[in-house]
Amino acid sequence: MSNLSTKRLTKELAELQKKPPGGVTLESADNLSQWVVKVEGAKDTLYQNEVFWLRFTFPSNYPLESPEVVFVRNIPIHPHIYSNGHICLSILYDHWSPALTISSVCLSILSMLSSCTNKERPPDDSRYVAHAAKSPKQTNWAFHDDTV
């Protein structure tokens, strides 16, 4: 791991432990390559009182390259979230920027949940899940609907 990724992850870890954003809790970070973060569905949304877990897997040149982010254990039902946990969200792929942090990624995902009006799986869920690679980063995503 580079100096950049080690030092930055150490800083992010400390910040997540000290003052995590609302609805976000670091659940485990046994090393600097894979963390699990707990997110709670916001009040007055379809996901109120639901709890989900995001697994972050960091490449060695994080934050220049995006982390792999997937839901694990309990997969929210959402038009942009596949039943294998993969998330269709541009900032995790083509629109990744090193200015993004684990906190801000979690918040983006929470806001994606919050703005949902109809709990349903993506229409192509079964087809995608049957053929998808293990990591969502290997998928060629087509982002057409940023508003849902």
Partner 1 sequence: MDKGKAVDRGSNGFAPAKKPTLVIKGFKNKPKLPDDFEQTSWQKLEKAVRAIQSSQRVQDSLEELYRTVENLCLHKYSETTYTRLSQEMERQIKSVKAKLESFPPSASLAFLAEVRDAWTEHCRQMLLIRSLFLYLDRTYALQTNGIHPIWELSVDMFRTFVLTPGGATLVGSMKGLLLQITSERNGNVVSRDLLRSIVQALLDLDLYDLIFEPELLAETDRFYTEEGDRLTSEVTQAPDGGVALSHLLKRVEQRVQEESNRCTPNVGYLTPSSRRKLTQLAEAQFVKRNARALLDAGFDKLMDAKATDDLTRLYTVFNRIQCQDLLRDKFTNYTKTKGSAIVTDTTRDATLVDDLLEFKLRIDTTVSGPFRNDESFVHAAKESFERFINIRPNKPAELVAKYIDNLMRQGKGLTDQEQEGLLDRCLSLFRFIQGKDVFEAFYKRDLAKRLLLNRSSSDDAEKSMLMKLRQECGSQFTSKLEAMFKDIELSKDLATAFKATTTAQTLDVDLSVSVLAQGVWPSYPKMEVAVPEALARCTKVFADFYVGKHKGRKLDWQPALAHCTLKASFPKATKELNVSFFQTLVLLLFNENKSLSFREIQQATRLEAKELTRVMQSLALGKVRVLNKSPKSKDVSDDHLFEVNETFQHELFRVKINAIQQKETPEEQKATNTRVFEDRKHVVDAVIVRIMKSRKTLSHTELTREVFGQLKFPLDAKELKKVIEGLIDREFLRRDDKDASMFVYVA
Partner 2 sequence: MKMKIKRWQAVAVWKWDLPDEDDVCGICRNVFDGCCPDCKSPGDDCPLIWGQCSHVFHMHCLLKWLEQESSRGQCPMDRRPFVAASA
Among 2, 6, 17, 135, binds partner 1 (CB under 8 A): 17
Q: Which residue has the tokens 């039902």?
A: 77
Which range touches partner 2 (CB under 8 A), out of 18-26, 31-39, 76-84, 89-97?
Answer: 89-97
Q: Does 6 bind partner 1 (CB under 8 A)?
A: no
E-state strands within the chain: 24-28, 34-40, 51-57, 68-72
Indicate which single residue of 95, 119, 127, 134 sits in contact with partner 2 (rule: CB under 8 A): 95
* Token digits of residue 63: 């934050």
Question: Which span sits near partner 1 by CB under 8 A: 25-33, 40-48, 55-63, 76-84?
Answer: 25-33
Tell which phi-psi region holds residue 142, choosing left (phi > 0), alpha (psi between -120 and 50) or beta. Answer: beta
Residues marked active site are found at: 88
